[in-house]
Structure 1
């Protein structure tokens, strides 16, 4: 299968990328990035990097080349509440790529596989706030704009339900890779409020590969429990 990823140069996106590359079910990964990826990732034969000047522009010929993709991991965004990065960019990809999927389905170019849903795995956050008028003390703008996107993404999915599945991942505080300090900090913050970056990356890759039959939203404890199952080899997909 082929997985797309936006934000692969970031801390979380790069971890999700590594897990995708390590997954034997993933045969191809296409990373959309503003700059080249780390050398060790670039050397992997599964990986293709597409350098982007503007994530708000998705030319048809560029998307045609990945029309056989099964999923996109969207790990691109900012904490300052910027509307362009957090709302316009992902919506631009969604509206552009769904047209490619519609054309593919209309032409029947992939036979029965053309009817399978494309999975859009969106990295959101635990404290997303739906009340746009509410005063918040902590990263207020980012929490509100992510909520706006989530709402728009659900509407989009309902409109294109036969082609599109949106999966929204809401982690708590993301901790560095496993160290003694990280373990202690995780205990202090608590299971419901924190997750290590390698656990989150593992979950994002898993969701891109397997999707979910019944759920759209995944909270921190859900992510952590699944990541621990994956690490222990007890995966029960779905």
Structure 2
């Protein structure tokens, strides 16, 4: 029998700093909930909105796989590896912090907000050489499909990280049903509903709800309205 955990949107941690409005699925910064420290290797899932022209000053990270997924607007990235880039909707950015990196992120535009997901995954090896990558994905390739955007292999579709993890995005029409087969035994999947309403393994979910499923090998997914969905398959460590 599959095990599950439901994190409704209105139970997330919340911090509004004026320039930054952030919702935390798991404990982060000033939000601490001992029952919501992580889901397996998935450590951070922050739903961030940054005001025009504002951003995060240069700060360090180490031994973490960091993924950014813009949902609207443009996010400017700069780091001490020499990268200065802009990531936009339909891009996915990954940074392996490894032995240590310092970076800054800010809203590239002065007149509009940028909305993005900041995701941290525990790596499966420590002190790797830091690295940076980003890719652009065709939104039409996720229409009534689960589009792979991340994997453990540079030879597979999407960006890659140092972890046995697979991420997929879907844009599903109302009434569409599909299945998701786990890539590795012992992994779990954390589903995050970006927009709309879906039912996964019998659990009704709504906008910004999170739902973790493990000790099974498949998800049954039905879109109850037009829906956008992010699936994050990770090892159930810890």
More helix by share: 1
More strand by share: 2
Specify if TM > 0.5: no
Structure 1 length normalisation: TM-score?
0.31
